[in-house]
């Protein structure tokens, strides 16, 4: 029998697929490099002061990131403060309370929230939710907490509070679905032994399920945090886009992403552009840090639980 001689494609195949993998590495490297080079003029001119200056005046070429960074952090914080407890109780509902059919239906609906494009949240936020907030929620907040500077000022709807609430809605499905999976991984035997001792559902959740799955829940929160911090369109629509820091959550502000979305195409001179790219660099740096912490956390968790990977 004669074997047909043929060219061995295997090495080529191997290299070709490796090229795909290296492309990812190369892209991440070039994004870092490009952002740093692009931001260089602003880095040189403003130095570390860029992060602590509140002035943003393209006409006088004065740029500072403080209000954008502040807006990013505050809107994300509001979003997480609302989303985390809400996600926890929804996950509790899905795993412990609802009958399977209801749980699947509600779970699916909550996951659909994640599939809605962010610009749709923006449209709804600007035209529907912000007016609702201005008419019904903000006056009520002011009257409930009369002295609190957080809830002072004219109820205009758009602003930090609206951005935070919409961010909460957007990260809710991510945290909920991971938390639900984590809750489901708790062995039935462990839960049943607690029920057998006469615990109520809430006691089982608080003293058995939650401690068992707390690591995973924290991981889920990091996931949500990572998404919220770079969210652009929804925030751009509702945050008000004003380069000022104000104590009230009702006031308009801006975030790094919204500043980029609004001003990038308008950047007329090199320094303006460099300052915007430096804002992008700051945002990239923040996501990098979150990602590192999340990885570290997950690895620590895996080691603690004795898992292989």
Partner 1 sequence: MKPRSLTYRRGIDLSIRVISSLAALFGIIMLGWILGTVLFKGAAAINWAFFTELPAPPGMPGGGLANAILGTLLITLLSVLIGVPVGLAAGVWLAEFGQESKLAEVIRFAANLLMSTPSIIIGVFVYVVMVLTTGKFSGTAGAVTLAIIMLPVVARTAEDMLALVPSALREAALALGMPRWKATLGIVFRAAQTGLLTGTLLAVARVSGETAPLLFTALNSPYWPESFNEPTANLTVTIFNYAMSPYDDWQTLAWGASLLITAGVLGTTIITRGFIWYRSR
Question: CB of 131 within 8 A of CB of 238?
Answer: no
Q: Least distance from C-beta 201 to partner 1, angstroms?
A: 6
Burial (0-12, 13-18, 19+ Cβ within 10 Å), 185: exposed
Angle, vertex CA 151, rays to CA 149 and CA 155, nearest 5: 130
Question: CB of 257 within 8 A of CB of 118?
Answer: no
In the complex with partner 1, the residue whose CB is nearer, 126 or 248, is 126
Q: Which of 43, 74, 162, 169 binds partner 1 (CB under 8 A)?
A: 169
Q: Least distance from C-beta 26 to partner 1, angstroms?
A: 9
Q: Which residues pair with 63 in a beta bridge?
A: 56
Tally of CB atoms within 10 A around 258: 26
Q: Least distance from C-beta 280 to partner 1, angstroms?
A: 4
Size of the site for partner 1 (CB under 8 A): 82
* CA distance linking residue 269 with residue 172, whole number of Å: 40
Q: Please spell the DSSP secondary structure of 184-207, one letter per residue.
A: HHS-HHHHHHHHHTT--HHHHIII
- The widest CA-to-CA distance across the chain, in whole angstroms, is 94
In the complex with partner 1, the residue whose CB is nearer, 70 or 263, is 263
- Is residue 182 close enough to count as binding partner 1 by CB under 8 A? no
* CA distance linking residue 123 with residue 78, whole number of Å: 20
Within residues 118-147, the interface with partner 1 by CB under 8 A covers: 118-124, 126-128
- Is residue 55 close enough to count as binding partner 1 by CB under 8 A? no
List, in order, residues 6 or more apart from 158 with CB less than 8 Å away: 126, 130, 238, 239, 240, 252
- Is residue 203 close enough to count as binding partner 1 by CB under 8 A? yes
Interacting span for partner 1 (CB under 8 A) from 142-150, 180-188, 189-197, 287-295: 287-295
Within residues 75-104, the interface with partner 1 by CB under 8 A covers: 86, 89-90, 92-94, 97-98
Q: Least distance from C-beta 113 to partner 1, angstroms?
A: 6
- Is residue 175 close enough to count as binding partner 1 by CB under 8 A? no
Q: Which of 108, 146, 196, 306 binds partner 1 (CB under 8 A)?
A: 108
Q: Least distance from C-beta 16 to partner 1, angstroms?
A: 6
Residue that is written with structure tokens 């959550």 in the block:
249
Q: Least distance from C-beta 70 to partner 1, angstroms?
A: 17
Within residues 227-286, the interface with partner 1 by CB under 8 A covers: 227, 229-233, 236-237, 257, 260-261, 264-265, 276-277, 280, 283-284
In the complex with partner 1, the residue whose CB is nearer, 52 or 202, is 202
In the complex with partner 1, the residue whose CB is nearer, 7 or 144, is 7
- Is residue 196 close enough to count as binding partner 1 by CB under 8 A? no
Residues in the chain: 309
Q: Which residues pair with 178 in a beta bridge?
A: none
């Amino acid at each position: 029998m004669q074997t047909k001689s043929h060219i061995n494609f295997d090495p080529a195949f191997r290299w070709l697929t490796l090229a795909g993998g290296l492309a990812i590495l190369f892209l991440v490297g070039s994004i870092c490099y490009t952002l740093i080079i692009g931001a260089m003029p602003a880095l040189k001119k403003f130095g570390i002061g860029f992060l602590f200056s509140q002035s943003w005046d393209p006409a006088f070429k004065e740029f500072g990131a403080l209000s954008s960074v502040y807006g990013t952090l505050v809107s994300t914080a509001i979003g997480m403060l609302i989303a985390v407890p809400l996600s926890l109780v929804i996950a509790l509902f899905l795993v412990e309370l609802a009958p399977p059919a209801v749980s699947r239906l509600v779970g699916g609906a909550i996951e659909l929230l994640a599939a809605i494009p962010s610009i749709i949240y923006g449209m709804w936020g600007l035209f529907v939710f912000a007016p609702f907030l201005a008419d019904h929620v903000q006056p009520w907040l002011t009257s409930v907490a009369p002295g609190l500077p957080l809830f002072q000022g004219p109820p205009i709807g758009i602003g930090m509070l609206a951005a935070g609430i919409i961010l909460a809605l957007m990260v809710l499905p991510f945290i909920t679905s991971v938390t639900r999976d984590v809750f489901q991984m708790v062995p039935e035997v462990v839960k049943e032994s607690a029920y057998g001792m006469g615990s109520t559902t809430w006691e089982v959740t608080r003293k058995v399920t939650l401690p068992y799955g707390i690591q995973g829940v924290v991981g889920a929160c990091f996931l949500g945090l990572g998404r919220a911090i770079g969210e652009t369109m929804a925030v751009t629509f509702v945050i008000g886009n004003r380069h000022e820091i104000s104590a009230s959550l009702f006031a308009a502000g801006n975030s790094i992403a919204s500043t980029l979305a609004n001003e990038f195409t308008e950047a007329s001179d090199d320094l303006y552009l460099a300052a915007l790219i430096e804002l992008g660099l700051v945002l990239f740096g923040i996501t990098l840090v979150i990602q590192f912490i999340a990885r570290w956390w997950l690895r620590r968790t895996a080691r603690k639980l004795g898992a292989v990977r």
